[in-house]
Amino acid sequence: MPTNREIHDLTDKFVLKCMGDEEVVIYEAQGLWIKDAEGRETLDAISGEWVVNLGYRHPRIMEAVRQQLEKAEYTTPVFDYESRAVLAQKLSQISPGGKFTKVLFALAGGDAVEGAMHLAMRATGGTEFVTFYKAFHGRTFATIALSYSDMRMIDESKVGIERYLTKQNRVPNYDCYRCPFKMTYPTCDLFCADFVETAIQNQADGKVAGVIAEPWQANGSMTPAPDGWFQRIREITSKYGALLIVDEVQSALCRCGPMFAIERTGVEPDLIILGKALGGGFPLSAVLAKEEYSELLKWEFGFTQMGHPVSCAAGAAMIDVMVEERLWENAEKMGARLVDGLRAIQDKYALIGDIRGWGLMVGVELVLDRTTREQAWEAATYAMKRAYEHGLLIGKTGPVYGDNGNVLKLKPAVNVSADEIDEILRRFDLTMADVSARWPGAL
């Protein structure tokens, strides 16, 4: 068996790590636990970056993968095959109201967003999109322009790619803890939602094909949409003949409680984008579309590995487990237990400014001063390191770029047990004790 150091050295020598470089080795994993090459166990409170919503190596998923591999390890998307058709049927059945009858498969969240853009443009005749300051929709050329930016990106990660970035209409996002308009909900009367109409009227150079929004802004500081916000956006998109496109790459599949986070709002979108957990741990993404928004030109979208049969088999098995075990109920119950425990920890440490949660999508915002809400970026980075030393894997956002990011992310598997939630809380408490000792001046 190799050592952690040997794996690190091999990685450094041959792998381009362009999404960060955390010195964490995962040699094997089971359930909520990961183990490095030297046998050290860590409790994973982020579901492998919110991908394994049933935890690692769930027996039903593993069995579905084995069965598919015994049939065929690959089928071109040009041909028909069972696992893709079955997963599409299951997604349609669990979609809001069962009204999303067509599924466009892809590989990852970013290209699924592009698929939704194609569908919206063909359905409306428009070519422009409205998105939000702190949104994150991917790192393809089309989706970089839809996603959050940092001043340093202009001189760093965006250097040389300007000619490929399409113009989009980015507007201030909802964020009731840090309102970009310095207003307070609900007396603001959802001014941020109304600003979308202002952008459509004054910013767009052509017809707007769609508004792309996250029900829970995940990479943009773990923030939920306030009550009424999506209702207002629905009214605006309908008024201007644009589609309401919800990006649920991180928030769907019981992560926020219901199967789809948008169901918490009571609003019916036109397109739903899925990714991350959709393949049960395997690469897979999709767009769920209503029949009237499901037309594409021949060959305008597609990838050789889209809708991979093994990924589809895993995804179908995952959905079966979620439905049979009613895991949306567990996500709500365990999410409430997690948030309640975090609020008790918040009472002990002034660094914790706010706690936000829908189901098992939970953000803990660290601040140096609860009154001014000055972001505690360094403290959040230190918290991630100390958590790992305490055997707990957590994430960070805010959004993240360089040393940015002051919101800690906790997104354990949606089948997590009460005992596992309590253990996450115990280790997080130890972590915050260490962080607070290093930043004793937090107010």
Mean pLDDT over all residues of the chain? 95
Q: Are residues 231 and 305 in the same domain?
A: yes
Q: Are residues 320 and 332 in the same domain?
A: no
pLDDT > 80? residue 262: yes
CATH number at residue 355: 3.90.1150.10
Q: Mean pLDDT over residues 190-212, rounded?
A: 95
Q: Mean pLDDT over residues 165-174, rounded?
A: 89
pLDDT digits (tens, 9 = 90+) for 69-101: 999 999 999 999 999 999 999 999 999 999 999
Let me know if residue 259 belongs to a domain.
yes
- What pLDDT, on the 0 to 100 scale, is given for residue 76? 95
Let me know if residue 316 belongs to a domain.
yes
Report the C-alpha gap between 170 and 199 in whole angstroms: 8
pLDDT > 80? residue 155: no
- What pLDDT, on the 0 to 100 scale, is given for residue 426? 98
pLDDT > 80? residue 138: yes
Domain span holding position 122? 72-324
Q: Are residues 127 and 20 in the same domain?
A: no
pLDDT > 90? residue 149: no
Q: Are residues 167 and 316 in the same domain?
A: yes
Q: Are residues 15 and 83 in the same domain?
A: no
Q: Are residues 320 and 330 in the same domain?
A: no
pLDDT digits (tens, 9 = 90+) for 222-231: 999 999 999 9
Q: Are residues 137 and 22 in the same domain?
A: no
∠ CA(22), CA(23), CA(28), 5° rounding? 105
Maximal CA-CA distance, the chain: 63
Provide the domain count of the chain.
2
Q: Which of 278, 303, 324 is at the close of a domain?
A: 324
Let me know if residue 77 belongs to a domain.
yes
For the full predicted model, state whether its pTM sits above 0.85.
yes
CATH number at residue 125: 3.40.640.10
Q: Are residues 427 and 318 in the same domain?
A: no
Let me know if residue 279 belongs to a domain.
yes
Around 330, how many Cα atoms within 13 Å sit in the side-chain half-sphere? Answer: 20
pLDDT > 90? residue 213: yes
Answer for the pair 272, 252: CB distance below 8 angstroms, yes or no.
Answer: yes
Let me know if residue 62 belongs to a domain.
no
Report the C-alpha gap between 360 and 44 in whole angstroms: 13
Report the C-alpha gap between 435 and 111 in whole angstroms: 38
Let me know if residue 105 belongs to a domain.
yes
User: At 162, is the pLDDT very low, low, confident or very high (cuts 50, 70, 90)?
Assistant: confident
Please give the structure tokens belonging to residue 427: 């280790």
Q: Are residues 160 and 88 in the same domain?
A: yes
Q: Which of 299, 324, 349 is at the close of a domain?
A: 324
Q: Which of 284, 305, 324 is at the close of a domain?
A: 324
Let me know if residue 67 belongs to a domain.
no
Report the C-alpha gap between 408 and 235 in whole angstroms: 33
Share of the chain above pLDDT 70, in %: 99
- What pLDDT, on the 0 to 100 scale, is given for residue 19? 78
Let me know if residue 8 belongs to a domain.
yes
pLDDT > 80? residue 442: no
Q: Are residues 124 and 249 in the same domain?
A: yes
Q: For the ranges 49-63, 140-154, 182-196, 343-357, which has the lowest average pLDDT?
A: 140-154
Coil, strand or helix at 124:
helix
Cα 14 to Cα 17, 24, 396: the distances in Å are 10, 17, 27
Q: Are residues 141 and 211 in the same domain?
A: yes
Q: Are residues 103 and 171 in the same domain?
A: yes
